[in-house]
């Protein structure tokens, strides 16, 4: 678990990723007068549960934390990971705990049945750790999906999130929602800020995804100062900041 897994970059894998964008879709209209922003944290490191969460909470904002229970209490390439005390504090504060696969399974390299087995295992493990809230939102580990997995998981979760770096606008796919990373150093954070700024002229649903939040982040993480820069841009945009489940409920209300 300490070494990061790199998804396959072969021709077949690339084709599957592209094909998944155009099939097994669940259309939802994201036609908003007032933008929505959602902060999400994947896997999730303790630094996200403490530093990241506290930075949002001081603005009365809530986030969605996607948990892979096999990482709990482990020391991975993201640093020390969440434990049951983090689950308790986050849920008591109103944050949403979302679902990954148990072992951060690459959903393009497994059957739909194997993915469901992993999710069931993840659910049981999180409940054993004391989680009492339902798992309504799912994020594909590595952002990867196949049409068959999208179809099966779409029957179980209200949203499925990928990592295609765009804002959700107009006809969107709730089975593979787009999201903008909070990583990539200063260049990556600049793009994240620009995405928030774009909401003032063209509202949409901007989902951010992050991992560790620490002074010396991994290449998939950001510093507290960088997260603060993005938060300030979101404040200036005037967007509503909602969890994944809150956002989809609000969008269904618009429809």
pLDDT of residue 164: 92
pLDDT of residue 107: 80
Identify whether 33 is part of a domain.
yes
Identify whether 2 is part of a domain.
no
- Tell me the whole-structure pTM to 2 decimals: 0.92
Report which of 88, 23, 62 is spatially closest to residue 245, judged by C-alpha positions. Answer: 62
pLDDT of residue 255: 45
> Contact 245/40 with Cβ under 8 angstroms?
no
pLDDT in tens, 122-169: 999 999 999 999 999 999 988 888 899 999 999 999 999 999 999 999
Strands 240-241 and 36-43: parallel
Q: How many domains does the chain have?
A: 1
Report the CATH number that the domain containing residue 157 is assigned in CATH.
3.20.20.370
Domain residues for the domain of 114 are 11-254
Identify whether 50 is part of a domain.
yes
- pLDDT at residue 232 tops 70: yes
- pLDDT at residue 52 tops 60: yes
- pLDDT at residue 1 tops 50: no
């Amino acid at each position: 678990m300490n070494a990061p897994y790199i998804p396959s970059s072969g021709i077949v894998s690339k084709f599957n990723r592209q094909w998944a964008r155009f099939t097994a879709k669940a259309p939802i209209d994201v036609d908003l007068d007032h933008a929505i922003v959602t902060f999400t944290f994947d896997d999730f490191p303790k630094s996200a549960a403490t530093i990241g969460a506290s930075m949002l909470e001081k603005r009365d904002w809530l986030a969605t934390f996607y948990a892979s229970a096999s990482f709990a209490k482990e020391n991975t390439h993201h640093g020390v990971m969440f434990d049951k005390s983090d689950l308790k504090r986050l849920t008591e504060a109103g944050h949403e705990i979302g679902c990954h696969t148990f072992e951060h399974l690459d959903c393009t390299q497994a059957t739909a049945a194997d993915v469901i087995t992993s999710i069931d295992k993840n659910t049981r493990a999180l409940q054993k750790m004391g989680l009492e809230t339902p798992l309504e939102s799912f994020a594909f580990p590595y952002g990867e999906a196949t049409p068959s997995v999208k179809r099966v998981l779409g029957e179980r979760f209200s949203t499925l999130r990928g990592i295609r770096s765009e804002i959700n606008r107009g006809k969107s796919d709730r089975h593979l929602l787009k999201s903008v990373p909070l990583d990539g150093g200063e260049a990556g954070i600049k793009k994240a800020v620009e995405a928030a700024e774009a909401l003032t002229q063209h509202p949409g649903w901007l989902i951010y995804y992050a991992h560790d939040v620490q002074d010396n982040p991994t290449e998939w993480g950001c510093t507290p100062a960088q997260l603060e820069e993005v938060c300030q841009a979101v404040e200036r945009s005037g967007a509503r900041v909602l969890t994944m489940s809150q956002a989809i409920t609000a969008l269904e209300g618009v429809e």
